[in-house]
Amino acid sequence: MLPINKHDGIVIPLDRSNVDTDAIIPKQFLKSIKRSGFGPNLFDEWRYLDRGEPGKELAVRKVNPEFVLNKPQYKNGTILLARENFGCGSSREHAPWALLDFGIRIILAPSFADIFYGNCFKNGILPIPINKNITDLFFEKAQSEEGLRLNIDLEIQKIIDGNDSYSFDIDMFKKYCLLEGLDEIGLTLKNKADIKNFENNYHSQFPWLTK
Amino acid sequence: MASTLYEKIFKRHVVREDNDTFLIYIDRHLIHEVTSPQAFEGLRSANRSIWRANSILAVPDHNVPTTDRKLGILDPVSKIQVDTLDSNCDQYRLTQFKMNDQRQGIVHVIGPEQGSTLPGMTIVCGDSHTSTHGAFGSLAMGIGTSEVEHVLATQCLIVRKFKTMQVNVTGNVSDYISAKDIALHIIGKIGTAGGNGYAIEFSGPTINELSMEGRMTLCNMSIEAGSRVGLIGVDSKTIDYLEGRPFSPNGDLWNKAVDDWKNLVSDEGAVFDKVINVDASIIQPQVTWGTSPEMVCGINEVIPNPKQQVKESNKKGYEKALEYMGLEQGTNITDIFLDKIFIGSCTNSRIEDLRVAANIVKEKKVATNIKQALVVPGSGLVKKQAEKEGLDKIFIEAGFEWREPGCSMCLAMNADRLEKEERCASTSNRNFEGRQGKGGRTHLVSPQMAAAAAIHGRFVDIREID
């Protein structure tokens, strides 16, 4: 997994609440058996005017010029800003895979759906809940002509906007994994003996759960 | 100390604890073709093995065709995904119901149907509607593909505890009000983010009265309220439902299990982090009018005015939703005409759902403005049972198509989908933009309401029709 420590990038303002995982990556692209290659179809139904299908050449797609990701000033953005309950809906990890493949490393929103929030951390994306006032302020700046560039420092848990900075909360274990780019399975397997031990006791207590 | 059901099940499964981060043991791992291939690939590339193969039950459901399966899967991309599941299950010798097995069906229908879902279990699946299984007093939740791989390799998950929310439902409901209406009403009340960070336990006299099918519908929809976990305490209905099913324990073990399961309820006096009280007697048949399950109202209401919303974000959200849905504020729900009807999905495709829908369409015809009306049973066994009861004939004579089991038009990964601007009364769980097909317009309803809408061509109050 890609670690994150400090990240500096352009903010893309996606002014919507309840952005769901069907919007992030529509179902027809979930048929892939790979983890990569989803970036061109991120927000497919908003980003293009025609219907996207797996394997359809990008060159023939009709781009929606109104959609924020297609505006030139946000083209190289790596920080996505959105409204409440970002990532609601299905558990598809294809959603963070698509965001990462596009180049998004940080997501700022007042709140996130639980499964999506967890999935981000497994893929080197840092979702940061921010309060409503800061959200409004960031939207105003990101939508202005100058745009908004932010600096995120995970180590000290701060979002830095020029001379201003804002602290954010994060689970210590998740922070540690993201800073180090750790493989959680490897970490868990260090406790192999504990798991075996637990399993034996558990199955003798609840013998009907062994099959 | 008095414990909630969530706390009781959680405690049983703690392998390790470290600063409020827990390693918990997983009893049952359900697998389908969409969210598992990358997990198996990850296992192989790291040269890891599967911890406990017999904890796994696999089934293809999202991509499978619901028409005649003799031809196989025509979409080559879908075919690769289903073939990949087959080969992964063969390689690791996992229990799988392949596409042409009569036991095949939607993963959240077959788990309980097989007795593979049992009280007190931790159950995971790479699918958000795993919350369904909480109807049996099990701790069941949707996970992403990285976690699927983690469970395959370690039989464990790394989690933090959820907060607990009790949704206490009281008041009598008539036969016309189903668990789906109760679920939609609750989502309308607390919002699609209302349950974020919580495990919801549904309780109260109205919940006790619900059948197991109804309870599954309710727990299924808890994820639409933002909650990964929906729970209902064990009672005699839970136990009766499970007795004699293929994966259920039998003989002495059954008696031991039942003794244990009887404790799987929240203790008297257990404290929840949040309590919501719902009076079910005021619930009308529900219809969603927007692009989020919280955009819902009763059949006798009108579409709300975005400008009159208190929350600033709702004003914008409502406007966008109405534009997408091609609807105007002030319109009566009963004046909404439909193009397609979908009865199916992990929310509402069980035998009881088909029975109540068939009861409404019996000896009637689908309205001429309806281009297509589908019934997609939740599993091969549900289909078989329905055919035994003659429900298939009732549907077919009315003008419905009677299909093979799968997820179908709930998310339109197979060929069943809405075209642009087509409007559908659907018994599924999500009305998101594009969910049933790009530009498609979804209205979530109960099976009874979908059936009545098929006959009348528009939404009608099922309490008033003959």
Q: Do B146 and A211 touch (CB under 8 A)?
A: no
Q: Do A184 and B150 touch (CB under 8 A)?
A: yes
pLDDT at B343 over 90: yes
Does residue A190 lie in a domain region? yes
pLDDT at B393: 98
Measured in degrees and rounded to the nearest 5, phi and psi for residue B363 equal: 60, 25
- Best mutation target, A114, A119, A135, to test chain B (most B CBs within 10 A): A114
Residue for token pair 């299984």: B133
Q: Are residue A189 and residue A171 in the same domain, yes or no?
A: no
Q: Are residue A35 and residue A113 in the same domain, yes or no?
A: yes
Does residue A153 lie in a domain region? yes
Range of the domain at A202: 183-211
Distance CA A202, CA A196 (A): 10
Count the domains in chain A: 2
Model pLDDT for residues B23-68, shown as the tens digit of each residue? 999 999 999 999 999 999 999 999 999 999 999 999 999 999 999 9
CA distance A17 to chain B (A): 7
Q: Do B411 and A208 touch (CB under 8 A)?
A: no
Residue B143: DSSP 8-state = -
| pLDDT tens sequence for chain A (211 residues) | 889 999 999 999 999 999 999 999 999 999 999 999 999 999 999 999 999 999 899 999 999 999 999 999 999 999 999 999 999 999 999 999 999 999 999 999 999 999 999 999 999 999 999 999 999 999 999 999 999 999 999 999 999 999 999 999 999 999 999 999 998 999 999 999 999 999 999 999 999 999 8
Amino acid of residue B378: G
CA distance B78 to chain A (A): 6
Model pLDDT for residues B9-30, shown as the tens digit of each residue? 999 999 999 989 999 999 999 9
Does residue A146 lie in a domain region? yes
**A208: nearest CB among B192, B197, B257:** B257
CA distance A25 to chain B (A): 11
B85 in reach of chain A (CB within 8 A):
no
Q: What angle do CA B379, B36, B94 make, to 5 degrees?
A: 65
Residue for token pair 């009709």: A62
Tokens representing residue B257 in the block: 């299990």
Q: Are residue A96 and residue A138 in the same domain, yes or no?
A: yes
B19 in reach of chain A (CB within 8 A):
yes
Q: Are residue A157 and residue A203 in the same domain, yes or no?
A: no
pLDDT at B311: 82
Contacts of A146 (CB under 8 A, 6+ apart): none
Q: Are residue A17 and residue A33 in the same domain, yes or no?
A: yes
E strands of B334-394, at which residues? 340-343, 372-375
Tokens representing residue A165 in the block: 């900075």
Q: Torsion angle of alpha carbons B430, B432, B438, B443, nearest 10°? A: 60
Q: Are residue A164 and residue A197 in the same domain, yes or no?
A: no
Q: Are residue A114 and residue A155 in the same domain, yes or no?
A: yes
CA nearest neighbour of B390 among B428, B363, B425, B371: B363
**A31: nearest CB among B38, B81, B142:** B81
Q: Where are the alpha helices (DSSP H) in A28-131?
A: 44-47, 94-102, 114-121
**B192: nearest CB among A15, A34, A85:** A85
- Identify all chain A residues contacting B84, using CB atoms and an 8 Å cutoff: 33
CATH number at residue A138: 3.20.19.10
- Pair B71, B20: CB distance under 8 Å: no
Q: How much is the mean pLDDT over chain B? A: 97
Distance of CA B104 to CAs A202, B61, B213, B240, Å? 30, 8, 18, 23
* CB neighbours of residue B457 within 10 Å: 16
Does residue A1 lie in a domain region? no
Query: What is the predicted ipTM?
Result: 0.95
What is the reported pTM? Answer: 0.97
Does residue A63 lie in a domain region? yes
